[in-house]
Structure formats: C-alpha cells, structure tokens
Chain A
Amino acid sequence: MCLALPAKVVSIDDSTDIAIVSMDGVKIEISLELVEQVSVGDYVLVHVGYALNIISVEEAHKTLALFAEADLLEQT
C-alpha cells in the first residue's frame, strides 16, 4: 500500500499542478499538489497518482557512499 516509485519529471502544467513523469520510460500523469517547488528534471516519489516528495540526489549519493564503505571493508 505504501509503495512509491521514483520517476523523473518531464513536464509541468502550472495552471493545474499536473506533471508528466517518466517511470522507467513509461509516461504517466501525476498531481503535484502535495509537493512544493518541483522542477522539470527532478526525481519525485510517486504514490497513487501523486508526488509525495522530491528525491534528494545528494542524499542518495551519500547513502551509496555509506554502502561503498562496506565494499572497502571487504577489500581490506
């Protein structure tokens, strides 16, 4: 039920707060009413036709860097 998938914002219609997003190549229409300051090119978490949040690219990289620490641990 709480599953949400990342999708890239392709276009935004400011008058209706509706965006077209690309989810692994599949284009769908979602509402931006729950989020603020979304721009084309941002990644958002999509749940039941709504964007829940903007995904922080910077934070995603930090988490991946944490995983990389485990990779390093293995090599030493």
Chain B
Amino acid sequence: MKFVDEFRAQKTARNLAAAIADNVRPDHSYNLMEFCGGHTHAIFRYGVQDLMPDNIRFVHGPGCPVCVLPVGRIDMAVQLAQNTEVILCSYGDMLRVPGSNQISLLKEKAAGADVRMVYSTRDALKIAKQNPHRQVVFFAIGFETTTPPSAVAIKQASAQELKNFSVFCNHVLTPAAIQNILESPEVRELGTISIDGFFGPAHVSSIIGSRPYEYFAAEFQRPVVIAGFEPLDIMQAALMLIRQLNEGRFEVENEYTRAVTRDGNRKAQRLVSEVFEIHNEFEWRGLGLVPYSALTIRAEYSAFDAEKKFSLSNSSGKPVKGCLCPSILRGANNPIDCKLFGKVCTPENPMGSCMVSSEGACAAYWTYGRFRQPGSAKDQAVA
C-alpha cells in the first residue's frame, strides 16, 4: 500500500537503528513517552523496542480514548441502551469495555438491548433515517481525530431536522492530558515517572496541527516530535528526540510532515468549534478530573445532546478491584505489573479497558510481547 509499505522497509529500519545507536550517549537514559496507543501498538507489532539501545525506554501514555473513559460514563451508555426506545450506536471497541459489575454494552445487547456497532457517524445517521420511530443515540468517543466526524453528523442532523438522533459526547482533548501528566506529582516531585521527551500524536496533530504542543515543550522543557504510526516514522522520531536531548533543546519538531502542518486542518477545527465547546473538567480513567480536557455540545445544538435529551445523570462507577489500568495509563506501571494481566484479564475476557482496545497497552503486551523472555528477542533481532 502506497505511503505504508515504504515506511516499513526492513533495511532502512536496521540503518535507522544503527544511527540511533551512534547517537545515544551511554551515560544518558532516554525515557520517551508515546502518548498514542497507535504508537504503542506499532512499537510492539514491529519490535521497535528490540532495535533500540538499552538506555532508551518507551513509556506508554494515555492516548487511547477507549481506555481513558471512566467506568461511570460506560454505565451511562449502558443506562441508555436499556431504554427500549433507544438504538445505541458506537464504534466497535467501546462495546466490549466492562462497566460496573462487569456489564458491557455487548452483554446488554445479548440481553436484548438494541446496540449496534458502526464504522462511521454516517452509518448512525442512516440508521436514524431508517428508524423514524426509534431514538438513535451515537455513543461518541475519541480524541481530536474522531471529533470532526461527530461535528459533521450533528450539523447534518440539525440541517435535516432529524429529531430522533442525538450524541452522547465523550470527546476528549490531547494537550490537556499531556499537560496533566507533566504536572502530576509523580513526574514533578516524586520522580517515580521519568519522561524526557514525547512522541507527539500522528492523526490528532493532522487536525490540531503542531502549534498546540509549543506551549508545554517550552513550559515543561520537554522536546516533542510528532511521529507517524509506521515503524520507520517512530524510529526517525526517536532519533530526532535523542538529538534534541543531547543538544539540550526542547522544541516541537514534526516528523509526520506528509499529514501534519503547524496549523492543522482549519476546516475541521472550525466545524468542531461550531458544534462543541470546552467542558470545565472531565474525568479520565487514570488521570482523575482533568480541567478543560473534554468537549460538550453547544447550547444551540442541545436538541442533539443525549445527556440532556435523556436527562442522564453522572454515575460514579465501580472500578474492577486489582485492575492497574489507571496507573498504566499514567505511565506509572507496565501491564505485566498487574496481577490480573494474562490470568483473569485477556482480550477474550477483558477486566480493564487497556485490554479491550486494540490500542491499549495491555492488549499490545498480550498480542506481541507476552511470551517474550527478557533479552531473547533482542538477541534474535541482532542475529
């Protein structure tokens, strides 16, 4: 596939690995957080970690919208699905995340609720038109990448006066979460999480541009390199981060220039700001209440706001005992530190959100790294 295969070339990967090895200083350690789940998966799937020198450590971030949605919001979606008037539509991953008492939307579907998996907001609109006597609710989740399609759907529903369509909005914002991590006591005071630099999001940045990261690169003195999701993109970005750290720079650089500009996609940004406004605070699994970190539907489109339409009240939710998802999402723990990992919690029967999503860190460890003995994969890669 064009624009994919050439960014996976094995020979170039070897050469980039050699360039990285030449550039790292043996007396330095490089703790690089990849914010996005897309990066985490590429790192594991292509064995990027095994090509890195020992003093480069990837710290997995909270950039998986399915993972960071707290149990309470899933309970609210379950509550919506239990309403017999409602057809609840959502992206696939969301259906399997367990809410309180292990109740997921998929279990509700098995119990008779009308829950439908859709690929696009366009499909949800279609279902609303086909079912004029039912209420169709789109359970919207996602970062800045996935928000513009929800904005388009609401604008279209409004233009077409589609009275049986609404959106349960759970769109969250990336820069607020990165700032929250950098301001956390674990990073600032306790030093239990070391983060020296960031791989900036790929497709989030294609919408918001590289400009929003400039503030915290300067404020928190951490370099950010926006990287594509292919393995060579990540390796090139790692090299750029290492060079910045060696030279004592903390700038925003862009490796993914084929899809990301400094200003981003202005048309999409405009559409989002027409339909949504910033929420004062929103709860994230792992990060707690993060100020100005989510979007809510503007008053003029409130007829399409499922929370208002169905008078949903916030649920606090009961997290699963022993599940380490919250601290894994902060970068404080690895999936293998969790007692549930690979035992009671597997992708077939997930206990926590990080095992459900195809972008979650636990799912990545399970799928690509579960059987790996320390050192062995690296030895094989070199051989």
Contacts and interface: CB of A to CB of B under 8 A. Distances in A.
A14 interface: no
A63 B152 contact: no
A19 to B, nearest CB: 13
B149 A50 contact: yes
A47 B119 CA distance: 9
Nearest to B12: A67
Given A73-B18, A73-B19, A6 B2 contact: yes
Contacts of A56: 257-259
A63 B359 contact: no
Interface string B83-117: 00000000101000000000000000000000000
Given A1-B146, A48-B146, A73 B65 contact: no
Given A1-B93, A36-B267, A70-B16, A49 B257 contact: no
Contacts of A49: 119-123, 149
A2 B14 CA distance: 27
B236 A1 contact: no
Contact of A73 (B15, B37, B38): B15
B66 interface: yes
B148 A50 contact: yes
A1 B258 contact: no
Nearest to A17: B152
Nearest to B272: A34
B104 to A, nearest CB: 17
A52 B265 contact: yes
Contacts, number: 141
Interface residues of A, number: 37
A31 B152 contact: yes
A48 B91 contact: yes
Contacts of B38: 2-3
Interface in A26-42: 31, 33-36
Contacts of A74: 14-15, 18-19
B285 interface: no
Interface stretch (B26-34, B197-205, B213-221): B197-205
Nearest to B204: A2
A43 B236 contact: no
Main secondary structure of the interface of B (DSSP, over half): helix
B252 interface: no
Nearest to B202: A2
B236 A67 contact: yes
Nearest to B20: A70
Given A53-B206, A74-B15, A1 B259 contact: no
Contact of B271 (A24, A34, A48): A34
B91 to A, nearest CB: 7
Contacts of B236: 63, 66-67
Instruction: Name, among A2, A3, A59, A63, the residue most crowded by chain B CB atoms within 10 Å (CB to CB).
Output: A2
A52 B267 contact: no
B229 A1 contact: no
B127 interface: no
Interface in B304-324: none
A52 B268 contact: yes
23 contacts: A2-B203, A6-B4, A23-B1, A34-B149, A34-B152, A47-B203, A50-B120, A50-B149, A52-B203, A52-B206, A55-B3, A56-B257, A63-B7, A63-B255, A64-B6, A67-B232, A67-B236, A68-B12, A71-B11, A73-B15, A73-B18, A73-B19, A74-B19
Interface of A: 1-6, 8, 23-24, 31, 33-36, 43, 45, 47-50, 52-53, 55-57, 59-60, 62-64, 66-68, 70-71, 73-74
Given A34-B268, A62-B257, 13 more contacts: A2-B359, A4-B203, A35-B265, A45-B259, A48-B146, A49-B120, A49-B122, A52-B203, A53-B207, A55-B3, A56-B259, A70-B15, A73-B15
Return the 5 tightest CB-CB contacts between A and B, nearest first. Answer: A49-B120, A59-B257, A60-B258, A6-B3, A59-B258
